[in-house]
């Protein structure tokens, strides 16, 4: 087959849509491809990952490509030889579930990644990927291929399909996928009664919509009130991609990650997620979570409601279970030893490895070493094979008494997968315990001085924002890849129907933050914008030390101040590391541009600015109907570049566009000035400012701004199954009213 040129047409309506896509892999070398062409090739490799590929060109390359003949096309020949050795011994079977916390699975995935990573050029890389796509486990291929795309220079800027589109099982409740299978088997045969009960409808463009909102919400504890946040598909994608950016096992200097602030970025990511989670709890008047302990029962259970493609259900953890038992006592002893080893090192200011080398933990820049020891990337035994990931040890300790951790047939818990662990309330308690080590380290550092905080000649005069409003909206999630194609559909290379789960999700209106700054000179400055709570869950006013770990950094950027008054306006969608909705990639692959409701509401275009970013719609917590009191904080500081470790290169992070928060243009600690305890007598300077704000939650029932909605014959549906959907409107008839009891009518 001949290589055809990629053609793209932009539709200027509500979103940018690429059509007439015909990228094939033939005998011609794939050279000088643009980003969009590479993206389409990657999409084809990841489409319908549970089955052999439907694309003839990928099958042809997979059949004809010979690794042993093409060894000279890899930068390291030994990675190919090692893969061949592993493959002869037997890889994870294709039908099994690939588990991120399974050492045997990960060892094989790393071998696959290394072969993809060390391909000399993009042509070899994509042909190797085709070869692997047809031979190894689908989940393992997705993991290794995604990691390789994230770290190869010739894939810089390539955006992959969202993980919830590649493998929906980890993101969608099992009963939704079960209904999709039912509709697939019946070719969406219409049964009006069942369709109405489950909220199913079929559009005239063969889109099957399954209403996830009409779900009976299974609850085990009060923490399930937050499942709209902990089970959010984009929040879990953020955590999954955070790992992909800095895999704990990628310790070799050849990858270049040791030249970045990888440990600090990972740790700050954990701390920011915790801070954001605490604000969401505050919206429900729930107090802070406590770190996990081993000597008490775990009162909070979790029901994942996830069924894997093998038919196995993710295990349920009931309430009030003992975490330590005869099956995991050895992990408990191991965790105690490692924690004591690290915390003694923090207290003593140094850690001695088994080979005698010393890791100092005394200065601010030594925090990078500590973070890597806790989250991977630095072996405490000075051996890449001995990297200890403390979070993984915790996961094994609390994995519901399972003991076949390193078997092929291991059924993962929600804690075992980077794409599902945020769903379990236990993982937030694990994160709390891990980050407390970072808090302990910072306690031994001196508090920031007036000189470190101040910016002479610069004064923040005023901060104001638009009205901050959140709401629950609808989103259509493409789950077609969870289903299997029949022989006819495989010939057509697409499913006859597109299957969609219509879900509820948190969103917020776009807003602007305006900062007025006076400067007596023209100078470059770093602007950091935080927001956090004003009161705690009991209504008590918080001081700065009480809430410093609850401050969420929503923006950080370099701004060139002019002499005199500067008015800085930052739109929420333009804030650093904020991304819009990920639109359906199926539209590109199926060459369709039909409208299917909310999926067309795309910010900018598909080719958004970064892989890893917080979704714009999750910038604000849910808030209250009458306003949740919060505070915005802005600090303007000079650009500082002199506090890096000798191994860290700020230019590498800037060149790779891998900067998170302020890590690529300023060397102050991430979270500055809240990362250390605050001295109230020296904290207040002219270059910072606080302002009180309110976060409102909009209720459709009381809103007068909703257009094109006739609510004259609608009432609010309120019951224990709709604790979030207080803006869910239902139509009622005279018959319905006659059947209601008086007290029920009053409740409505």
**pLDDT digit string (tens) for 662-717?**
887 888 999 999 999 999 888 999 999 999 999 999 875 555 444 434 444 444 44
In a shared domain, residues 306 and 439: yes
Arithmetic mean of pLDDT, 49-78: 92
Domain for residue 597, yes or no? no
> Does residue 465 register a pLDDT over 80?
yes
Note whether 690 and 727 are same-domain residues.
no
What would the two tokens of residue 33 be?
């491809």
Is 5 part of any domain?
no
Residue 275 lies in a domain: yes
Residue 50 sits in a domain of what CATH number?
1.20.1370.10
- Asked if residue 463 has pLDDT above 90, the reply is yes
Which token pair is 727?
A: 């803006």
The pLDDT value given to residue 18: 32
365 and 242, same structural domain?
A: yes
Same-domain pairing of 269 and 412? yes
In the chain, the N- to C-terminal Cα span, in Å, equals: 64
Cα distances (Å, whole numbers) of residue 245 to 41, 121, 542, 654, 687: 21, 21, 35, 14, 33
Give pTM, 2 decimals.
0.88
The answer to whether residue 388 sits within a structural domain is yes
Q: Which domain holds residue 103?
A: 35-160
Kindly state whether residue 708 falls inside one of the protein's structural domains: no
Domain stop point among 138, 160, 182: 160
* pLDDT score, position 26: 62
Kindly state whether residues 140 and 265 are assigned to the same domain.
Answer: no
124 CB-near residues (< 8 Å, 6+ apart):
70, 73, 74
Say whether both 726 and 669 belong to one domain: no
In the chain, the number of structural domains is 5
How large is the C-alpha radius of gyration of the chain?
26
Tell me the average pLDDT of the chain: 83
Q: In this structure, is residue 123 part of a structural domain?
A: yes
- Does residue 7 lie in a domain region? no
3-state SS, one letter per residue, for 28-83: CCCCCCCHHHHHHHHHHHHCCCCCCCCCHHHHHHHHHCCCCCCHHHECCHHHHHHH
d(CA 37, CA 30): 10
Which band of pLDDT confidence, cut at 50, 70 and 90, is reported for residue 401? low
Q: Identify whether 334 is part of a domain.
A: yes
Rounded to 10°, the helix 35-46/122-133 angle is 10
Please give the structure tokens belonging to residue 320: 């009030």
* DSSP helix/strand/coil, 197: helix
Q: What are phi and psi of 591, to 5 degrees?
A: 55, 50
Question: Which whole-number Å values give the CA distances from 677 to 136, 275, 442, 666, in the listed order?
Answer: 50, 16, 8, 21
Provide the pLDDT confidence category of residue 177 given band limits of 50, 70 and 90.
very high
Confidence tier at 203 by pLDDT (50, 70, 90)? confident
Q: Where are the alpha helices (DSSP H) in 187-328?
A: 192-198, 227-230, 233-245, 262-283
State both tokens at 167. Answer: 């493998």
In contact, 694 and 669? CB cutoff 8 Å: no
State the CATH number of the domain containing residue 662.
2.60.40.1520
Task: For residue 461, give the DSSP letter.
Answer: E
Cβ contacts of residue 258 below 8 Å, gap of 6+?
251, 377, 647
On whether both 328 and 355 belong to a single domain, the answer is yes
Nearest-CA neighbor of 287 among 301, 297, 277? 277
The β-bridge relationship of strands 578-579 and 614-615 is parallel
Of these ranges, 4-8, 24-28, 497-501, 711-715, the one predicted with the greatest mean pLDDT is 497-501
- Which pair of tokens denotes residue 129? 């990927």
Please provide the size of the chain in residues: 748
Of 251-260, 356-365, 459-468, 496-505, which gets the smallest average pLDDT?
A: 251-260
Check residue 266 and give its pLDDT. Answer: 93
CA–CA dist 523, 516 (Å, integer): 15
pLDDT of residue 696: 95
519 in the same domain as 490: no
Pair 320, 410 in one domain: yes
**Cα distance between residue 738 and residue 187, in whole Å:** 38
Q: How many helices (H) and strands (E) does the chain have?
A: 24, 19
- Return the CATH number at 266: 1.10.1280.10
Burial per residue of 329-361, b for 16 or more beta-carbon CB atoms within 10 angstroms, e otherwise = eebbeebeebbeebeebbeeeebeeeeeeebeb
Q: Are residues 294 and 355 in the same domain?
A: yes
Residue 443 has pLDDT above 90, yes or no: yes
- Long-range contacts (CB closer than 8 Å, 24 or more residues apart) made by 128-133: 128/65, 128/67, 129/45, 130/25, 130/45, 130/58, 130/61, 130/62, 130/65, 131/61, 131/62, 131/65, 131/67, 133/45, 133/53, 133/58, 133/62
Domain match, 412 and 268 both: yes
Pair 536, 416 in one domain? no
Q: What is the mean pLDDT of residues 528-536?
A: 96
pLDDT band at residue 406, thresholds of 50, 70 and 90? Answer: low
Phi, psi of 356 (to 5 degrees): 100, -15
Average pLDDT for 210-227: 79
């Amino acid at each position: 087959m001949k290589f055809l040129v990629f053609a793209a047409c932009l539709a200027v309506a509500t979103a940018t849509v690429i059509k007439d896509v015909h990228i094939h892999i033939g005998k011609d070398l794939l050279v000088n491809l643009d980003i969009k062409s590479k993206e389409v090739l990657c999409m084809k490799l990841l489409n319908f990952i549970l089955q052999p590929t439907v694309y003839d060109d990928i099958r042809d390359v997979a059949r004809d490509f010979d690794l042993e003949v093409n060894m000279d096309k890899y930068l390291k020949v030994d990675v190919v030889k090692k893969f061949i050795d592993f493959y002869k011994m037997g890889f994870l079977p294709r039908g099994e579930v690939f588990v991120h916390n399974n050492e045997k699975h990960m060892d094989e995935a790393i071998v696959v990644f290394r072969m993809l990573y060390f391909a000399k050029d993009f042509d070899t890389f994509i042909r190797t990927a085709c070869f692997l796509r047809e031979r190894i486990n689908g989940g393992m291929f997705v993991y290794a291929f995604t990691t390789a795309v994230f770290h190869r220079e010739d894939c810089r800027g390539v955006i992959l399909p969202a993980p919830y589109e590649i493998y929906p099982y980890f993101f969608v409740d099992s009963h939704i996928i079960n209904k999709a299978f039912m509709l697939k088997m019946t070719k969406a045969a219409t049964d009006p009664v069942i369709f109405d009960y489950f909220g199913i409808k079929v559009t005239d463009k063969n889109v099957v919509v399954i209403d996830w909102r009409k779900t009976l919400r299974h609850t085990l504890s009060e923490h399930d009130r937050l499942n709209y946040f902990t089970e959010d598909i984009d929040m879990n994608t953020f955590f999954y991609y955070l790992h992909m950016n800095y895999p704990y096992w990628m310790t070799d200097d050849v990858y270049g990650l040791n030249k970045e602030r990888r440990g600090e970025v990972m740790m700050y990511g954990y701390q920011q997620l915790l801070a954001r989670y605490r604000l969401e709890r505050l919206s429900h008047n729930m107090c802070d979570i406590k770190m996990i302990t081993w000597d008490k029962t775990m009162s909070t259970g979790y029901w994942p409601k996830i069924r894997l493609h093998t038919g196995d259900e993710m295990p349920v953890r009931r309430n009030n279970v003992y975490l330590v038992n005869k099956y995991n006592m050895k992990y408990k002893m191991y965790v105690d030893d490692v924690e004591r080893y690290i915390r003694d090192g923090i207290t003593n200011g140094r850690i001695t490895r088994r080979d005698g080398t010393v890791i100092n933990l005394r200065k601010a820049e030594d925090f990078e070493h500590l973070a890597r020891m806790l989250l991977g990337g630095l072996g405490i035994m000075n051996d890449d094979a001995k990297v200890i990931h403390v979070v993984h040890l915790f996961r094994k300790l609390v994995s519901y008494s399972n003991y076949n951790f390193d078997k092929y047939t291991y059924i993962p818990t929600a804690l075992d997968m980077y794409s599902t662990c945020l769903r379990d309330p236990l993982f937030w308690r694990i994160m709390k315990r891990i980050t407390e080590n970072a808090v302990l380290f910072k306690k031994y550092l001196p508090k920031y001085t007036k000189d470190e905080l101040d910016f002479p000649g610069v004064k923040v005069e005023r901060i104001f924002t638009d009205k901050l409003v959140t709401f629950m909206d609808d989103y259509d999630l493409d789950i077609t890849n969870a289903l299997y194609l029949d022989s006819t559909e495989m010939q057509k290379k697409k499913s006859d129907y597109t299957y969609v789960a219509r879900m509820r999700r948190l969103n917020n209106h776009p807003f602007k933050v305006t900062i007025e700054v006076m400067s007596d000179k023209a100078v470059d400055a770093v602007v950091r914008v935080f927001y956090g709570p004003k009161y705690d869950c009991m209504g008590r006013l918080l001081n700065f030390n009480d809430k410093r770990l609850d401050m969420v950094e929503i923006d950080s950027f370099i701004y060139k101040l002019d002499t005199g008054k500067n008015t800085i306006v930052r739109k929420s969608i333009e804030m650093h590391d904020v991304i819009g909705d990920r639109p359906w990639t199926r539209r590109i692959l199926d060459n369709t541009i039909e409208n299917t409701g909310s999926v067309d509401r795309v910010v900018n275009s598909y080719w958004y600015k970064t892989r890893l970013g917080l979704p714009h719609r999750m910038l604000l917590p849910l808030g209250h109907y009458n306003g949740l009191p919060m505070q915005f904080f802005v600090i303007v500081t000079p650009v500082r570049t002199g506090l890096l470790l000798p191994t860290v290169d700020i230019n590498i992070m800037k060149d790779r566009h891998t900067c998170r928060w302020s890590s690529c243009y300023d060397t102050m600690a991430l979270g500055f000035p809240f990362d250390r305890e605050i001295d109230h007598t020296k904290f207040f300077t002219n270059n910072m400012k606080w302002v009180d704000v309110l976060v409102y939650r909009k209720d459709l029932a009381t809103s007068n701004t909703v257009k094109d909605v006739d609510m004259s014959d609608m009432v609010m549906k309120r019951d224990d199954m709709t604790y979030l959907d207080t803006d869910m409107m239902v139509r009622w008839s005279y018959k319905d009213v006659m059947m209601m009891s008086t007290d029920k009518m009053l409740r409505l």
